[in-house]
Amino acid sequence: MVKSLAISLIALIIMKNLNMSIIGLSFLTIMSVMMVSTVTGSVELNGLFTTDFVMGLMVVLTLFVAALSHLSSVKTARKSSFNLMVISISLILLMSFSVSSFFLFFFFFESVLAPLLLLIVGWGYQPERLQAGGYMVIYTVFGSLFFLWGVSALYMSGMSSSMSSVSSMVKKSAMSLWWLYILGFLIKLPMYPFHLWLPKAHVEAPVAGSMLLAGVVLKLGGYGLLRFMGVMQMNLSSLFYVLLLLVNLAGGLYAGLACVRQVDLKCLVAYSSVAHMSLVLLGVLSNTLVGVMGAILIMVGHGLCSSGLFSYVNVVYKMSHSRLLVMNKGGLLICPSLVLMCFLLSSSNMAAPPSLNLFGEILVFGVGGWMSGVFLCILGLMSFISACFSLYLYGSCSHGKGLMHSESLSLSSMCDIMVLGVHWVPLNFLFMFMP
């Protein structure tokens, strides 16, 4: 099934007819939801690939975001090379979520940087894209080396490199330095203070790069940490564990406060990703079934919501040729349908019902309150700040008096509105297919 969906994605991307692409996207969505709803257990395929519910969700998210990023970039220069980069990123991500060996996961975990870097450098907007690409590579490669060190130490101690086999082992003394081995996942999420590469990469990347980076690539950190949790041996009452969670939540709160004072639309959405990923890290490190399920729901919901918001920012940029909030006021006077999509995505970003973010945050908040009352207070402030910057994004772009040149702005096409709507529909109705 995964192979057939990947072939469908490639055919969809190389298709030049926009109407056929939209029809193919609808078929791909239906098949993807059917695949997730049928995956109930964990199955090993030839010792190299694994199939379970989490893997199915991540594969569907990859296919979905890749197809939508293609539709958001119909007028991109050097279209053939651009499609090759998008297909390469998508296939590498599919392999990353499908393999069952830690060594293969590390290989694909790092391989996604090459086409993503080429996408940022080749189709970026400003000369600073070289610096942004360098930040991204240095941060992620440096942290991933510790993960490779931990997996190698595990393998040299006589254990297998298979994710499912190692997670069932009782003796896990090789993972005594777990706080160092997960550094690569913390950077990829990213966790504060390892987040500095993310806003730079988002600002300089084209719309497809931002959608894939926020929608799927960041989920590699949460997915890898989720798999690695079955290997790690950690004391939940240790000082370092509590300090890690405190820094994580304080960093998420600081990222939310930073969103409120942003003047660049892309930076605002990028910093909101840091705030939401801190909830994912809390859910995964809680080592409880409720926390892990909440983290998975937030990952899927954030992947759809952030990808849609970056697509919206691209539509606004095409209309005004600026990402500044002050240059994009009065959206209701220009394109009310676009403002409606902005409101729906912003409400989902603040975890309004019935979005996946709401169900995920309820589970994570419950786990945080069970762990500590201080955690619950910080989570409450994060939720309030999330509503503030989501309303700030919507109000700044939609209301107010438009600029003098607003009459000359071209209206967004139906394809752009359709892409935003397709982001919102599964974000608010996918909970019906959850087991």
3-state helix, strand, coil in the chain (%, to 5): 75, 5, 20
pLDDT confidence of residue 172: 57
Cα separations in angstroms, 133 against 65, 200, 432: 21, 8, 39
CA 240 to chain centre: 27
Residue 378 has a pLDDT of: 94
Q: How many residues does the chain have?
A: 435
Measured CA to CA in angstroms, residue 394 lies from 203, 230, 347, 349, 423 at distances of 19, 41, 9, 11, 17
Report the pLDDT value the prediction gives residue 386, as an integer from 0 to 100: 94
3-state secondary structure of 50: strand
Q: Which of 186, 174, 184 is nearest to 150 (CA)?
A: 174
3-state secondary structure 297-341: HHHHHHHHHHHHHHHHHHHHHHHHCCCEHHHCCCHHHHCHHHHHH
Q: How much is the pLDDT for 257? A: 94
Distant-in-sequence, close-in-space partners of 245: CB < 8 Å, separation ≥ 6? 282, 285, 371, 375
pLDDT score, position 7:
59
Cα dihedral value 86, 89, 93, 94, nearest 10: 50
Whole-number Å distance between alpha carbons of 191 and 186: 5
Q: CA neighbours within 13 Å on the CB side: how many for 64?
A: 33
Q: What SS3 class is residue 38? A: helix
With beta carbons less than 8 A apart as the criterion, state whether 198 and 254 touch: no
Per-residue pLDDT of the chain (435 residues), as tens digits, is: 555 555 555 555 555 554 455 445 545 555 555 554 444 455 555 567 777 888 888 988 998 898 888 888 877 888 888 888 888 898 899 889 988 888 889 999 999 999 999 999 988 877 788 888 888 999 999 989 998 988 888 788 777 777 766 665 545 555 677 888 888 899 998 898 888 899 889 888 999 999 999 999 999 999 999 888 877 777 777 888 889 999 999 999 999 999 998 989 999 999 999 999 999 999 999 888 899 999 999 999 999 999 999 999 998 888 888 888 888 888 888 888 888 999 999 999 998 888 899 999 999 999 999 988 899 999 999 999 999 999 999 998 888 776 544 444 445 577 888 889 989 998 988 777 665
Phi, psi of 10 (to 5 degrees): -60, -45
Give the pLDDT score at 408: 40
How far apart CA 86 and CA 130 sit, in angstroms, is 19
Nearest to 202, CA basis, from 283, 274, 108: 274
Please tell me the distance from the alpha carbon of residue 364 to that of residue 279, in angstroms, as a whole number. Answer: 7
DSSP labels, 169-215: -S--GGGTTHHHHTHHHHHHTTPTTS-THHHHHHHHS-HHHHHHIII
- Give the per-residue pLDDT at 53: 82
**What does the block give as tokens for 279?**
């909830």
How many whole angstroms separate alpha carbon 256 and alpha carbon 261? 9
**Interatomic CA distance for residues 199 and 218, integer angstroms:** 13
Spatial distance between the Cα atoms of 408 and 334, rounded to a whole number of angstroms: 10
pLDDT, residue 390, reads 93
User: Among 91, 7, 96, which residue's Cα sits nearest to residue 55?
Assistant: 96
